[in-house]
Amino acid sequence: MHTFTLIFLVFLFASVMTRIWLSQRQIHHILAHKDRVPDAFAQKISLEEHQKAASYSTTKLKFARLSLAWETIWLLIWTIGGGLSLLDNWWLEYQLSPLTTGILVILSLTVLMSLLDLPFSLYSTFVIEQRFGFNKTTLKTWLTDLLKSAMLMLVIGVPLIAVILWLMNQAGEFWWLYAWSVWTAFSLLMIWAYPVFIAPLFNKFSALEDESLKTRIDALLQRCGFRSKGVFVVDGSKRSAHGNAYFTGFGNNKRIVFYDTLLKSLSEDEVEAVLAHELGHFKRNHIKKSLLLSILMTLAGFALLAWLMNSPWFYSAMGVEQASTHAALLLFMFVLPVFTFFISPLFSALSRKHEFEADDFAKQQSDYRALVSALVNMYRENASTLTPDPIHSMFYDSHPPASIRIAHLEAR
C-alpha cells in the first residue's frame, strides 16, 4: 500500500470517528437537558417547544450519521476503489480532446453523485422536515429547483470548468496563479450577480410594504451609513417554515432580505434589532475579512493542486491509472475535506467572534432587549436546540450557543 494511501485512510477514519463521536455527544447532551427549559428561555419557550427542538435536533443528527456513512463509502469507491479511474477510462475510449474529456468526466461524475444523494435530500425534505412541520415545498417545486440548478450548472459551471482545465493544460508552470485569478473574479461576479439574476429564479423578492417598519429601517440604515438597493421580502414560506434574514450582493447590488416567515414572528423592535445585528457584520468588515480569507485559502489550494498534479504518486495512491488535469482536480476536491476537517474549529471560532461583535454593534444601534427577544423567537420558531454540547458546538456552530449569546447581550 502506498504511503499516501495509508495516510489518507488514517485521516479519513479519524475524521469519520470524530464526527460520530461529536454527534453522539450532541445527542446525549440534548437528551440529558430535554426535560427542563433553560432559565434564560423559560418565560418564552414552553417545555413542549423545547422538547420538540430536542427531538428535531437528534433526528437530524441520527440521519446525518447515515448520510456520513453513505458519503464515506462512495468516497472510497471513487478514489482508491478505482471508480474515478473507471469513469475516466470510459470517456477516454471516445478519443476526444483532453479538454472535452475532462469536462465530460467532471459533468458525468457530478450527475452521478447528485443522483446518489437524491434519496437523502428527498427524505430530509419530505420526511424529517415534514414530520416537524417545517416543510412547505411540493414535489413539483422540489423537482423544478433541481432542474434549475442543473441548468445553472450547464450555463455557468461548464464554462468555468472549461477555463480552469484549459489553464491547467496550456498556461505553463504558473497556471495556478491564472486559475486563481479567474476563480476570484468569477466569485466576485457571482456575489454581485446573485441577488439580481440568480436568486429570483428560485424565489420571489418583493419590496417591503409595511410603511411603519420601512421608516424605522430607513432611519437605521441612515444612522449606520449603509446604502443598498433596498429592503426585500423573500417568499421563504414557499419552501420552509424556517425564518432568516441576510445581506446579499456586492458593491452597488447590496440588498437586505427578510424571510416572510421571519417578519410574521417578530415585532418592529425585533426586526430593527435583527437588522442592526446584520449591519454590524458590514460595519465591522466581517464580509470583507471573510472574503479575503477565502481568496487567500483558494490561492493556497491552487498552489497545492499544482504540486500534486505533477506528482505521479498522487494518482496511483488514489486509485487513478491515467494522470490528467481533470483527475488531479477531482481527486484534490475529494481528498482536501478529509485533511481540513480538524481545523474547522478555527473557522467556527472566527465566525462566533464575528457574531459577538455584530451583537455588540446591535446593542449600540437598537434596544438589546429586542434582539434578545428576537433571538428567543427565532430559536423557538426554528426549533433550534438551546442546550448544545460545547465540543460539538466548537466544531460545527458558526453562532455562539443560545445561552452564551444572550448572556453576552445582557452583560452591561
Domain ranges of the chain: 201-288+355-410
DSSP, res 185? H
Active site residue 278: yes
Give the position of cell 479519524: 14
Q: Does position 36 have pLDDT exceeding 80, yes or no?
A: yes
| Percent residues over pLDDT 90 in the chain | 69
Cell digits of residue 362: 446591535
CB 252, CB 193: distance < 8 Å: no
Give the position of cell 451609513: 225
Distances (CA, A) of 313 to 1, 5, 175, 300, 328: 11, 10, 21, 21, 11
In angstroms, the CA 108 to CA 265 distance is 44
In angstroms, the CA 223 to CA 350 distance is 27
Find, among 164, 166, 145, 144, the residue nearest to 156 by Cα.
164
Q: What tens digit of pLDDT does each residue of 90-145 get?
A: 999 999 999 999 999 999 999 999 999 999 999 999 999 999 999 999 999 999 99
The pLDDT confidence band at residue 266, using thresholds 50, 70 and 90, is: confident
Compute the mean pLDDT over every residue in the chain, rounded to the nearest whole number: 92
What pLDDT score does 103 carry?
A: 97
The pLDDT confidence band at residue 412, using thresholds 50, 70 and 90, is: low
Does the domain made of 201-288+355-410 have the CATH classification 3.30.2010.10? yes
Q: Does position 320 have pLDDT exceeding 80, yes or no?
A: yes
What pLDDT score does 13 carry?
A: 97
In single-letter form, the type of residue at position 21 comes to W
Q: What tens digit of pLDDT does each residue of 171-190 get?
A: 999 999 999 999 999 999 99
Of 88, 129, 355, 359, the active-site residue reads 359
What pLDDT score does 126 carry?
A: 96
What pLDDT score does 99 carry?
A: 96
Distances (CA, A) of 297 to 7, 186, 334, 340, 359: 22, 16, 17, 12, 27
Cell digits of residue 247: 445581506
Of 278, 355, 381, 389, the active-site residue reads 278
If DSSP codes are grouped into helix, strand and coil, which group holds residue 234? strand
